[in-house]
Amino acid sequence: MKLTSFKQKRAAETRRLYLLGNPNVGKSTVFNAMTGLRQHTGNWSGKTVDAARGKYTYNDREYELTDLPGTHSVNSGFSEESVTADSIADGGQNAVTLILADASALKRGVALVLEFLENRNGGAVLCVNFCDIAERRGIKINFEKLSDVLGIPAVGITAKKRGDINRLKELIDKNYDSLSKGTAPRRSRSAPEAQLKRAGEICAECSDAPASNTACGLADRVLTSRAFGIPIMLLFFAGILWLTIEGANYPSELLSRLFGYIKPYLAACVPSPVKGILIDGIYGTVTWIVAVMLPPMAIFFPLFTLLEDAGFLPRIAFNLDRCYARCGMSGKQCLTQCMGLGCNAVGVCGCRIMPDEKQRTIAVITNSLIPCNGRFAILISLSAIFIGSMVPDHLAGLMPMLCVLILICLAFAVSWGASLFFSKTLFRGGEAVFAMELPEYRRPEILKTLAVSLITRTIKIVWRAILVSAPTGAVIWLLANTTVGGVPALTRLSMLLDPAGRLIGVDGFILLAFILSLPANEITMPILIMGYTAAGAMTDAGSLSNLSALLSQNGWTLLTAVNMMLLTLFHWPCATTLITIYKETKSLKTLALSFLTPCVIGISLCLITKLLANAVLLIV
Partner 1 sequence: MFLSEKNGVFPLNELDRGSAAVIAEIKAEPGGGRLAEMGFVPGETVQNGFSSPAGDPTAYLLGGCSLVALRNSEAKNILVKIIAEQKERCNI
DSSP for residue 61: E
**Residues near 593 by beta carbon (within 8 Å), at least 6 away in sequence:** 365, 422, 426
Q: Which of residues 414-473 bind partner 1 (CB under 8 A)?
A: 431, 433-440
**How do beta strands 15-21 and 52-58 pair?**
unpaired
- Tell which one of 1, 193, 617, 620 touches partner 1 (CB under 8 A): 193
Biggest alpha carbon distance in the chain? 89
Identify which range of 58-66, 218-226, 382-390, 418-426 contacts partner 1 by CB under 8 A.
218-226
CB of 206 to partner 1, least distance (A): 9
Residue 102 or 584: the one with the smaller Cβ distance to partner 1 is 102
Residue 69 or 122: the one with the smaller Cβ distance to partner 1 is 69
Residue 60 or 193: the one with the smaller Cβ distance to partner 1 is 193
What track of x and - describes contact with partner 1 for positions 40 through 79 (by CB under 8 A)? -------------------------------xxx--x---
CA angle 544/546/548 to nearest 5° reads 85
Q: How many other β-carbons are positioned within 10 Å of the β-carbon of residue 587? A: 14
Residue 310 or 574: the one with the smaller Cβ distance to partner 1 is 310
Site for partner 1 contains 181 (CB under 8 A)? no
Q: How many other β-carbons are positioned within 10 Å of the β-carbon of residue 60? A: 7
- Tell which one of 59, 213, 545, 553 touches partner 1 (CB under 8 A): 213
What track of x and - describes contact with partner 1 for positions 126 through 165 (by CB under 8 A)? -------------x--------------------------
Count of positions on this chain that bind partner 1 (CB under 8 A): 51
Residue 142 or 166: the one with the smaller Cβ distance to partner 1 is 142
CB of 392 to partner 1, least distance (A): 35
Identify which range of 120-128, 188-196, 261-269, 587-595 contacts partner 1 by CB under 8 A.
188-196
DSSP for residue 93: -
- Tell which one of 325, 398, 405, 579 touches partner 1 (CB under 8 A): 325
Which amino acid appears at position 189 of this protein? R
Instruction: Assign 127 to helix, strand or coil.
Output: strand
Identify which range of 90-98, 202-210, 247-255, 374-382 contacts partner 1 by CB under 8 A.
202-210
Helix or strand run (H / E) with residue 346: helix 344-350
Cα–Cα nearest to 368, from 560, 176, 511, 577: 577
Q: How many other β-carbons are positioned within 10 Å of the β-carbon of residue 323? A: 17
Cα–Cα nearest to 559, from 508, 599, 504: 504
CB of 214 to partner 1, least distance (A): 9
- Tell which one of 47, 108, 120, 375 touches partner 1 (CB under 8 A): 108
Q: Can you give 167-223 as a three-state secondary structure string?
A: HHHHHHHHHHHHHHCCCCCCCCCCCHHHHHHHHHHHHHHHEECCCCCCCCCHHHHHH
CA distance 427 to 420: 10
Contact criterion met (CB below 8 Å) for 588 and 480: no
Given the rule CB under 8 A, which residues bind partner 1? 22, 71-73, 76, 102, 104-108, 139, 192-193, 196-197, 200, 203-204, 207, 209-213, 215-216, 220-221, 224-226, 229-230, 314, 318-319, 321-322, 325, 331, 355, 431, 433-440
